Chains A and B, each alone.
Chain A
Amino acid sequence: MRVGLTFCITFVLLALCELLFRLGIYEPFAAPLSHAGFSIQLKSAIKSNPQRIDFVTFGSSRTQHGLDHVAINAAAAHHGKFHANMSVSGGHWLTVATLVEWLAKNEPQLSGGIITTEIPNFLGVGNGSYELTVIEPFRNLTDFDRAAKHVPWQRDELGTYGVYSALFSYRDDIQQLISHPLDRKRQLQANAGIAPLIRLTGNTPDQPDMCRYGFADRRTCDAVAADPNPLLPAKLLCDGNIRGAGVPSVLPSDHIPAEFAAQADSVRQILRNVRWPKPPLLVLMPIPRMMQEHIFPQNLHAMTLMMLAPLVAEGRIELLDMTSALDDSNGPPGNDCRMYHDFYHESPAGRAQLTALLLPKLEAYLYR
């Protein structure tokens, strides 16, 4: 009896701590540049931004690097609108679903926006347990099922406990806070000076292009392997870790394979739940041809389009396929090293070119 009571009381007190974390008690202390911290800063910027938000951009680090958010907001401002960049590093389908729900509650006046993604995102519904930390500040109190669908809970994988508990989601951040408290204080002080407008419409710092490795074919990976200090995304891609275990090297070109049927349903459901006045503009971000041919399964692009086709037909999304938008028209197709900072993220030149291609569509579809 006494032991049972001790278990119960301790559990209730822990649940209270969990509730406090869910309500944001830890948010002022999170590292500004961690996954969770970045989302917290974003949330705070939206809440404290004096301007009404009309349009948003969802996406991942590729969106942060690959689009000129200053130019996009300037184009929106020309029409008296405000376009906020809500792309977060590590953002995937779970992030889209969570942000859509959060915005519906907190920014109901929203008119529409861009959802950027890329063809490899159609291979899997989840992006690893760290996406849980990305969405934590935006979650509601009862979205366990959705989180568990994207990041299945595993007993021996503590990161996945974040599906059910904010106390677990902030583990890495708290460990870092305890081990480097003064660094955290400095980071928070430095971060306090950044205005919400900069956060919502600013660009990431410029990064050098990919030409130091060359960008032709699989031989690029030999150059990456020889580099004592390689770029991490480049190394991961060359090691083949991006494709994921169990994914076939060739996909059928005329139908969605049975093992991807659930994935297709899940993506469609997430996009159908986006109920903005203007259906979202879904942008498939550029993927270097070298990666399409050597890293990802063949016909992935075709399968992606098949997954999205019903949504286009229903008028749920406006699709803008820019998968090959940065292909080199002069050199070997799809392999312009000047356009990319690494295999995955655009360089400033790539960002400028991509934004130049996107802006007319935004003008025509969103802002008018």
Chain B
Amino acid sequence: MNFNSWHFVAFFVVVYTVYRLLAFRPFWQKVALLAASYYFYGQWSYTYLGLIGFSTVLDYSVARAMGAPNGAALRAWLTRRKLLLLSLLCNLGILATFKYGNFLIENFNAVSGSLSSALMISPLDALLPVGISFYTFQSLSYTLDVYRGDSKPRQSLLDYALYLSFFPQLVAGPIVRDNEFFSQLDGDRQVDRAMHQAGWVLIAFGYVKKVVFADNFAPIVDAVFKAPAGKGFSETLLALYAFALQIYCDFSGYTDIAIGVALLFGFRFPKNFNYPYAALDLQAFWRRWHMTLSRWLRDYLYISLGGNRLGVGRTYINLMLTMLLGGLWHGASWNFVIWGGLHGGYLALERAFLSRFWLWRSDATAARIGRWLLTFHFVCFTWIFFRSATFSDAITVINILLRPAFDFDYQLHLPTLMALVLCFSMHFIGARIDTKAWLARQARPIFYSVLVAACLLLIWFTPSTASPFIYFQF
């Protein structure tokens, strides 16, 4: 079930009504939310719901065993470390099988073929379960937190199942930490007027970002990236900028809706995007882009690898490894590895060298603009690898962009350029005054004007065919 479907609207109305009717029965509220979440996921595949069920039971049991006294049943023959390993192996094993199985087989076959070996493995006939990367990471964070002693094992299986499958963030985040979720689950989850308005403003912005902007940028981007050979310079450059906005509007639109819906149910989720294209350096970009994944990678990977505690050289290696794995998290393709590697390399470069130069140290406007231009265009450059279907397509796009030509067609390209300028302007205004938060605080006439304006934009600019969210494939 997509957020951008009538099915979801009807689903939301029913679930919300039931949830409110059960306001004084917290246990049944949780049961209702869990049933709704499983129904929500089951619309993609009831079979793969079994994977969520398996992760739920496994990590719930592992965490309970970790917290149990030394003599207790499971702990009698498994140490805490072994329990953690069991959880890691099972969760990452499932993720690797479904997400990276065919990638590994393809690479094995390629190597085998180049060595003239007859040994070839048939690809797996399995679809990628929607949201597997998100709920796997969320589940892992729980067992890791319990292992480290940062969290206590949850006693209720119902609570833990709801934590892992709560429908607003189930398929594409934000990746919520167990203590963030459970503290609210245990509270009264009252929704005051401010929360209510903030939730609706986020939902409205989310839908507009996804449907009005991302889905309308999609054909412009697809026209170039599906077959880049022979495309003009202006068309390709505009498509690249359009993709930068498409993926931002698509993903941040999804998270805005997710956070907004959760707010209406009384849950406050962490921010996932904070106007990333306004960042003046790449480190700041990663503090603003997919913030909950960055936080996860920092807390559970970078710091586990030693972070910056083991010397300068090791810091850069850790940074690089974290970003490479972060790239691979997005999908089983060398292009994602290159994308992650480029980000890791540039982050290391920024730390090691660039910060010594005037451009990076000065607070003058010219320096800030220069830093922004460099950072933004580096991010756009890396999007080429992220969006291209193959490495050779990415090289074709780069080759086109390395040969600037004034082939701008006013009739054809001007509307795209205007839409891009409008979007980037809104992005920078938002970064300065946090538009969503500001609007959420306004009096009712402005609040309702925002909702009506969003509805009108959706009526007029929804493309004829709905596109799924890009991050669903990750």
Contacts and interface: CB of A to CB of B under 8 A. Distances in A.
B9 to A, nearest CB: 10
A179 B411 CA distance: 10
A10 B451 contact: yes
A168 B460 CA distance: 7
A344 to B, nearest CB: 25
Contact of A13 (B191, B196, B264, B452): B452
A6 B455 CA distance: 13
Interface in B389-433: 415, 418
Given A2-B196, A3-B16, A167 B460 contact: yes
A13 B448 contact: yes
Interface in B1-47: 6, 13, 16, 20
Contacts, number: 44
Interface in A179-194: 179-180
Interface in A257-309: none
B456 interface: yes
A166 to B, nearest CB: 10
A214 to B, nearest CB: 35
Interface residues of A, number: 23
Contact of B193 (A2, A159, A165): A2
A174 interface: yes
Contact of A14 (B16, B20, B264, B452): B452
A9 interface: yes
B461 interface: yes
Interface in A315-350: none
Contacts of A17: 452, 456
Contacts of B456: 14, 17, 167
Contact of A3 (B196, B455, B461): B196
B365 interface: no
Given A174-B460, A175-B461, A180-B415, A6 B452 contact: no
A171 interface: yes
Contacts of B264: 3
Interface in A156-209: 157-159, 165, 167-168, 170-171, 174-175, 179-180
A368 interface: no
A225 to B, nearest CB: 24
A155 interface: yes
Contacts of A157: 464
A170 B418 CA distance: 22
Given A13-B448, A179-B415, A6 B459 contact: no
A14 B250 CA distance: 25
Interface string B57-93: 0000000000000000000000000000000000000
Nearest to B196: A2
Contacts of A159: 464
The interface centre, meaning the residue of A1, A6, A155 with most chain B CB atoms within 10 A of its CB, is A6
B153 to A, nearest CB: 35
Nearest to A179: B415
Contacts of B205: none
Interface in A1-47: 1-3, 6-7, 9-10, 13-14, 17
B462 interface: yes
A6 B200 contact: yes
Contacts of A167: 456, 459-460
A2 B17 CA distance: 11
Interface in B97-138: none
A165 B461 CA distance: 15
B440 to A, nearest CB: 13
Nearest to B416: A179
Nearest to A1: B20
A175 B464 CA distance: 13
B294 to A, nearest CB: 32
B459 A155 contact: no
A170 B13 CA distance: 29
Contacts of A7: 13
A171 B452 contact: no
Given A2-B193, A3-B16, A3-B196, A175 B452 contact: no
A339 B303 CA distance: 81
A175 B460 contact: yes
A165 B13 CA distance: 23
A1 B464 CA distance: 33
Nearest to B454: A10
A45 B418 CA distance: 35
B455 A10 contact: yes
Contacts of B196: 2-3, 6
A116 B455 CA distance: 40
Nearest to A182: B414
Given A2-B193, A3-B264, A9-B448, A14 B460 contact: no
Contacts of B460: 167, 170-171, 174-175
B448 to A, nearest CB: 6
Contacts of A13: 448, 451-452
Interface string A118-155: 00000000000000000000000000000000000001
Interface string B239-277: 000000000000000000000000010000000000000
Contacts of B20: 1, 3
A130 to B, nearest CB: 13
Contacts of B191: 2
A185 B464 CA distance: 26
Nearest to B461: A175
Contacts of B452: 10, 13-14, 17
Q: For A10, A14, A158, which residue has the most chain B Cβ atoms within 10 angstroms?
A: A10
Contacts of A10: 448, 451-452, 455
Please give me the 8 A-B residue pairs with the lowest Cβ-Cβ distance, nearest first: A179-B415, A13-B452, A10-B451, A174-B460, A167-B459, A2-B196, A171-B460, A14-B455
Interface of B: 6, 13, 16, 20, 191, 193, 196, 200, 264, 415, 418, 448, 451-452, 455-456, 459-462, 464
Interface of A: 1-3, 6-7, 9-10, 13-14, 17, 155, 157-159, 165, 167-168, 170-171, 174-175, 179-180
6 contacts: A2-B196, A3-B16, A6-B200, A167-B460, A171-B459, A180-B415
Given A10-B455, A175-B461, 9 more contacts: A1-B20, A2-B193, A6-B451, A9-B448, A10-B448, A14-B455, A158-B462, A175-B460, A179-B415
